[in-house]
Amino acid sequence: MFPEEKLFFFINSRPRRLAEAQVEIQDYELNCLSHNSHVDTSKVVTFSERELHTSRHKGPLSNLLKLRIKMRVREHPHLAKRYADLVEQNF
């Protein structure tokens, strides 16, 4: 999500928790997906330097997908305000 802080949203093939915090994405919206998935905007996750170093960049999010994520974060109270503000400022 934000490289300088190494914060990310989790993407899973099934909605995690808090349905109102999920953004459904179609497999064609993100090249690395082989099936429809969900972005959990209820919390951010971090990865260790090692995990980041060994991971592969999967490509950028489209502007439309970024907008959908941003709008979903605005609609629910589950993401800590600090992180919701980062989404608002950086997406």
Per-residue pLDDT of the chain (91 residues; tens, 9 = 90+): 445 677 899 898 888 789 999 999 998 888 888 899 999 999 999 888 888 888 777 778 889 999 999 999 999 999 999 999 999 998 8
Question: Would you state the pLDDT for residue 4?
Answer: 67
Determine, yes or no, domain membership for 67. Answer: yes
What are the structure tokens assigned to 17, written together?
A: 């928790």
Cβ contact 70:56 at 8 Å: no
Q: Residue 88 has which token pair?
A: 């608002």
- Domain total for the chain? 1
Q: Does 15 reside within a domain?
A: yes
User: Rg of the Cα trace of the chain?
Assistant: 13
In a domain, 20, yes or no: yes
Give the structural domain span for 18.
Answer: 7-90
Q: Is residue 80 assigned to a domain?
A: yes
2 belongs to a structural domain: no
Is residue 75 included in any domain, yes or no? Answer: yes
* pTM (2 d.p.): 0.84
User: pLDDT value at position 31?
Assistant: 82
1 located within any domain:
no
Asked if residue 55 is part of any domain, the answer here is yes
Predicted pLDDT of residue 5: 72
- Count each helix (H run) and each strand (E run) in the chain, helices first: 3, 3
